[in-house]
Structure 1
């Protein structure tokens, strides 16, 4: 059931909720956002370092993309189960757990810079932490929210800013700071210590969230969720995977010596534009329902531009494609989250959000798939990107068409019920 619309107040998520006792901005709101920010930082700081691990550590293309995708192995189970943690222990305790887990992941990756297996374990730990932060943090913000539609935007912006700043900082440190395989992760560990202290001292609800098992089993998810939101989800983070894992190697030869900095720049650019796109959606609430459709359209356009960039090795076209993909990511993410909030049955918001993120992060497998197709079947990057764009178009149009047919059939059935129940008796005058 969608949350009823309310008049924006001083406690709306656009302006942090205020303490009843002091009238000051509620520290709980900032604590939840900070926790989501640092776990997102940890999840994406590895991305601009891919080129460094290729060139300085001798890792193969498949190896580095597998390490990029490794945190999805921990992320997906976490996304699917995190709402149950909130149902059992409330929202604060899982967030208190998530931040140190993210720090542990950074420690393992830094310690295993010559050991891919240890790095894989660290990336998995980072993924578990990010999954908890995404789902439980989103539920915590939703419980603090008094206005429909604002909690999903705040959640998306907290994550996007963490992804962006984490990647930008890691790229800069890897390019110019000493010990490039260690320094970025040390900085993240320090930030995690601060985030853990904030969330541990917060008053985030420790009450169990509403998640009755019988109600979950009894209440089906909306058909529109399966046919509109689910087909859109894989392209959310697929856009980012293309923007800063597929595009940088295309022009690596043109930017010798500045590979890490350029990768960090693409991360910061694409995510920064996605962040501002999410802010724009919040300022135009009447058009927020179109965010998912516009975001998907931009994903297709950006992927086609990336295909042309792969064929021409143009630095400027790479930057343009990453920019369009970043905006597409931002709009698709906030659009899908708002669709979930509007249509979620009682007790099912965490489940729906978890599934969106779970399918969304499968999109980070696109760089690995592209590398595998190239090494195994000599399929060029341009061809793979064209296939991806076509798949996005076909799956989403198919979902919309099926939903339209289903709704028309339901409407026809509803109209036919009274007609079927009407019996004409001869000799009886009507009306």
Structure 2
């Protein structure tokens, strides 16, 4: 080193060499390159959004298949039931597989299943068997998104990926991705079914394009979970120790089926019971009911955060109570053949669904250990999605009793669940990990 190099330079200020990314940029733009990039959690948000789109786009089409294709009410509601048959095992298995192989591979598989599901559903005009198989694949895809995608969002909504996020960001973003995707999918499908061309094909073709686009986006998302050297048969990973936590069993499991039971009845079953009042606008009503419920659920995210409390179960309790009230409105709407009351029921149930999704995910993320996050998330959604079987149960029981009587029983069960949650929560707070 020469003497000149060791002398301080008092006449100039040395600047660091520009980075490769900075070359060619003017000096007027001081923003770092990273600010122009999509946040890691947002990439996964898009994947959950796209898969949820495919899972719920079928809901407003139920009335179309019943009216235009003359499928029986039992078969139409069976389309909902087989969806759950695909969804439940995916929820229980996908999380454990992602603990071993990573979140990204499983999420990409979920997007592939979603594309396959929509592709098979587009063949629906050839026969109902294509609708049944397509719905099965859609259920598998949503199961992967709920168990793996929401866990991935949670892990990317904290340091070092997102240091500014708070403890509730993961649950809020995960529930919002689901409700926004479900709502927009239903809106597009319903509008096409009412006024668009080839309504039994076009909605599914659009979803395939959406899913492929988001698959390319999520491809660049960072992995957030490694196996940690886990060896042995994969099925050993299915064990979820935190599942035995008393708060999960006595609070979360009791309440979570009502998250989607109310929704399935309000925007899946109710439109078929108001055909006399809606007439040729039945598909518009079915679409509006779905979008209203999911739109309200998305819009109340900030309020859900305030209602939830780790020292109580008021978020889940509020969800169950609102579901019971919404079902009462459904009963009155059917008796009065009132479109206004039907839409009002969806508003109330939308509030409940928003509270339930946020609080349920927050409970899971509080109870689960790091190893159990994906597994317990899958179990939570598996129990929640049992609620989607409600229309199938109602259709099967109509040979024994009227719809109003059956729905009244549902209201009674919801009230019982509400009381059980209130009785149990103080004894089993999440801070005390009791197994």
- For normalisation by structure 1, the TM-score amounts to 0.84
Residues 58-97 of structure 1 aligned to structure 2 (within 5 Å): 58-97=70-109
CA contact (8 A) 1:210 1:347 kept: no
Supply the distance in 1 between the matched residues of 2:45 and 2:245 (Cα, whole angstroms): 29
Counterpart pick for 1:395 among 417, 425, 431: 417
- Cα distance, 1:114 vs structure 2: 3.9
**Cα distance change on mapping 1:398 and 1:353 into 2, 3 Å:** same
Which 10-residue stretch deviates more, 285-294 or 160-169? 285-294
Equivalent-residue separation in structure 2 for 1:117 and 1:214 (angstroms): 34
Q: Which of residues 217, 222, 239 is equivalent to 1:198?
A: 217
The Cα of 1:289 is off from its aligned counterpart by: 5.3
The CA deviation string for residues 56-88 of structure 1, in whole angstroms up to 9 with x for no partner, is 101000100101222111100000011112112
Query: 1:215: Cα distance to partner?
Result: 11
Give the CA deviation at 1:25: 4.9
Aligned to 1:132: 144
Say yes or no: does 1:254 pair with 2:282. Answer: no
Match of 2:171 among 119, 138, 152: 152
Query: For residues 237 and 386 of structure 2, what CA distance do their matches in structure 1 show?
Result: 29
Conserved? CA contact 1:241–1:363, under 8 Å:
yes
- The change in CA–CA distance for 1:37 and 1:152 in structure 2 (over 3 A counts) is same
1:405 is displaced (CA, Å) by 6.9
Per the alignment, residue 173 of structure 1 pairs with: 192
1:222 aligns with 2:245: yes
- The aligned residue for residue 27 of structure 2 is none
Residue 320 (str. 1) matches residue 339 (str. 2): no
State the Cα deviation string for residues 223-277 of structure 1 (Å, max 9, x = none). 1110010011110111110111221122212222121121111100010001112
How do residues 171-320 of structure 1 correspond to structure 2 at under 5 angstroms? 171-205=190-224, 207-208=226-227, 221-282=244-305, 290-320=314-344
Per the alignment, residue 117 of structure 2 pairs with 105
Which sits farther off after the overlay, 169-178 or 333-342? Answer: 333-342
Unaligned runs of 5+ in 2: 1-30, 159-165
2:180 maps to: 161
2:308/2:359 contact within 8 Å kept: no
CA deviations 1:19-73 (Å, max 9, x no partner) are 9972445442221011000110000000100111011101000100101222111
Equivalent residue number for residue 358 of structure 2:
334
Contact 1:216 1:347 in 2 (8 A): no
Residues 71 and 218 (structure 1), Cα distance of their counterparts in 2 relative to 1, 3 Å cut: closer
CA contact (8 A) 1:106 1:186 kept: yes
Instruction: Give the structure 2 partner of residue 367 of structure 1.
Output: 391
Deviates more, 1:285-294 or 1:104-113: 285-294
Q: 1:92 to 1:66 in 2, by over 3 A?
A: same
Partner of 1:117: 129
**Structure 2 partner of 1:13:** none
Please report the RMSD computed on the Cα atoms of aligned residues, expressed in angstroms: 2.5
Structure 1 residues 243-252 or 61-70, which shifts more? 243-252
CA distance in 2, matches of 1:94, 1:114: 31
Tell me if structure 2 keeps the 8 A contact 1:234–1:362.
yes
Contact kept? 2:246, 2:428, Cα under 8 Å:
no
Give the TM-score of the pair, scaled to structure 2: 0.83
2:151, 2:377 within 8 Å by CA — same for their partners in 1? no
Deviations 1:330-369 (A, max 9, x none): 1111111111112223422222211111011111111111
Alpha-carbon separation, structure 2, partners of 1:31 and 1:154: 12
CA change 1:359–1:207 in 2 (3 A) is same
**Deviation per residue, 1:144-195 (Å, 9 max, x gap):** 1223121011100000001111001100011111111011111101101101
In 2, Cα distance between equivalents of 1:290 and 1:209:
37
Q: CA deviation at 1:312?
A: 1.3
**d(CA) in 1 for partners of 2:241, 2:68:** 55
With over 3 angstroms needed to count, the CA separation of the structure-2 counterparts of 1:62 and 1:401, relative to structure 1, is same
Pairs aligned (count): 388
